[in-house]
Structure 1
Amino acid sequence: MKRNTGRGRKAPSSWSMQSRMMSDIMLCPRHRTSLNRLSGKTTMDKDTVTVTLSIAAFVVSIATLLVALSQMKIASAKARLDLYNKRFNIYIAALDYYQALWGKSKTPVDECATHFIKAYRESQFLFKRKDGVYDTLTKIKDFGAESTSKDSDVKAMEQDPTLDRSHLGRKREERGIANQCFEDNLKKLEAQLRPYLRFEHASGWHPFK
C-alpha cells in the first residue's frame, strides 16, 4: 500500500489565503458593520475638511475686501486734503497780496502779485465757474494792479516838490479807493470759499453713500 506523502498536492498561495480571509470577514455581519462605520467616518472627515476650507476662503475674501475698501477710503481722504490745500493756498495768496498793498507784509508787493497771478490762473481748474470765485479773483487782480500803479504814482509825486499838492491828494485818494475795492472783494471771496474750505470731516470716500 502506497503512502500518501502530499508531494503531489499544490500548496495554496498567500494571495488565495488572503482572499479567502477577506471573504470570510465580509460575510461576517459584525465586521461588515465595522467597515461601514469606518467608511462613513472617512466620508464625514472629507466633508468637514471641505466645509472648513470653504469657510476659510470666505473669511479671507471678506478680509481682502475690507482692506481694499479701507485703502480706497484713505486714498480718497488724501485726495480731498490735497484739493483743500490747493484751494486754501489761493486764499492765502490773495490775503498776502492784500497785506503787501497796505504795507503790512515783509514780502515785496511785486513778489506777492506774481504769486497771486499764478494762484489766480490755477483757480479756474479748482472751482465751479457758477460759484463766482474766478470772477472775484479777477476783480482782486485788477484792483491790485490799479492800487500798485497808483502807489507808484504817489511815490513819484512825493519826490517832486514842485508838484501841486492837490494832484498828490487825488492820487492818494484813488489808491485808497482801489485798496478798499480790493478789500471788499477779498471779503466776498471768503464767503464764496467757505463751502470749499469747511473741512470738519476728513472721512474720504464712502462706498455706501
Structure 2
Amino acid sequence: MPCHPDTKQAIDYLLGVVPIIISFAVAFIAWAQYKTNKNKLRLDLYNRRFAVYDKTLAYYQAYYSSDLDNEALRESATDFVRAYRESSFLFGRESSVYKALTEIKDTFGFLVEFDAKFGSESYDKDEFRAWSKIKASKKDPTKLMESLEQALKPWLDFQEIEK
C-alpha cells in the first residue's frame, strides 16, 4: 500500500518535531527538579539551623525552670552541646552565631557548675568569693539569648529562604 506524498511529509515533519518537543519537556522537568531540590536544601538548612536555636532555648529554659530535675538539665545540656558542635558546620566558626553559642556554652557551663558546687553542701568561703567574682563577670544569660537571636536573624529569615 503506497503512502500518499502528503502523509509521508506529515510523518517526516512529526519525526523531526517530536524529538525537539521531547527535549524541551525534558529540559523543563530538569529545571523543575533543580528548583525543587534547591528549595528543599534551603528548607533543610533552615530546619537544621532552627534546631540549633531550639536546643539552645531548651537548655536556657531547663536551667531556669524550677520544676525540672538535674536529669532534664543534663539532657538538655547534652542536646545543646551536640547542636553547638553542629553549628560550626551550619554557620561557620567565624560567624557571630557560633561566637554567641560559644559564649552561651561557656556561661551556662560555669553557672551549672557553680550551682552544683555551692548549691547545698558546705563550701569554703574564699573559694565561693572567687567563683562569685567570676560569676559576676559573666554576661546575663537573657542578654546572651538576645544576642544569639540577633545573630540568627539573617540565617533564619524565611523570606530569604523562599527566594
Separation of aligned partners in 2, 1:63 and 1:104: 61
8 Å Cα contact 2:46-2:161 kept in structure 1? no
1:194 matches 2:150: no
Q: TM-score, normalised by structure 1?
A: 0.64
> For 2:32, which of 67, 70, 91 is the aligned residue?
70
Give the match for residue 60 of structure 1. Answer: 22
Larger radius of gyration: 1
1:125-184 CA-partner distances (Å, limit 9, x unpaired): 011334322121111111001110121133224xx5x998xx989978976775x53222
> For 1:146, which of 82, 107, 110 is the aligned residue?
110
Separation of aligned partners in 2, 1:150 and 1:60: 70
- Shift of residue 58, structure 1, vs aligned partner: 1.5
* Alpha-carbon spacing, 1:47–1:104, altered in 2? closer, same or farther (3 Å): farther
8 Å Cα contact 2:63-2:73 kept in structure 1? yes
8 Å Cα contact 1:73-1:203 kept in structure 2? no
Amino acid at match of 1:199: F
RMSD of aligned Cα (Å) = 3.1
Amino acid at match of 2:90: L
Amino acid at match of 1:69: W
8 Å Cα contact 1:100-1:112 kept in structure 2? yes
1:103 matches 2:65: yes
Q: TM-score, normalised by structure 2?
A: 0.79
Structure 2's unaligned 5+ residue stretches are: none
Runs ≥4 residues deviating over 6 A: 167-174
Separation of aligned partners in 2, 1:60 and 1:77: 26
8 Å Cα contact 1:97-1:113 kept in structure 2? yes
Residues paired across the two proteins, number: 159
Separation of aligned partners in 1, 2:67 and 2:42: 30
Q: Give the secondary-structure state (helix, strand or coil) at the position aligned to 2:90.
A: coil
Separation of aligned partners in 2, 1:115 and 1:98: 12
Give the match for residue 100 of structure 2. Answer: 136
Give the match for residue 141 of structure 2. Answer: 182
Separation of aligned partners in 1, 2:39 and 2:21: 27
Correspondences of 1:25-174 after superposition (within 5 Å): 42-103=4-65, 106=68, 108-157=72-121, 160=122
Structure 1's unaligned 5+ residue stretches are: 1-40, 205-209
